[in-house]
Amino acid sequence: MHDQFDVSLEDADLLGEVELTTNLIIAASESEEHLSTEEIDEILGVVPHARRGS
Q: What is the DSSP letter of 36?
A: P
φ, ψ of residue 14 to 5 degrees: the values are -65, -45
pLDDT tens, residue by residue, 1-54: 677 777 666 788 888 999 999 999 999 999 999 999 999 999 999 987 776 665
Q: pTM for this one? A: 0.64
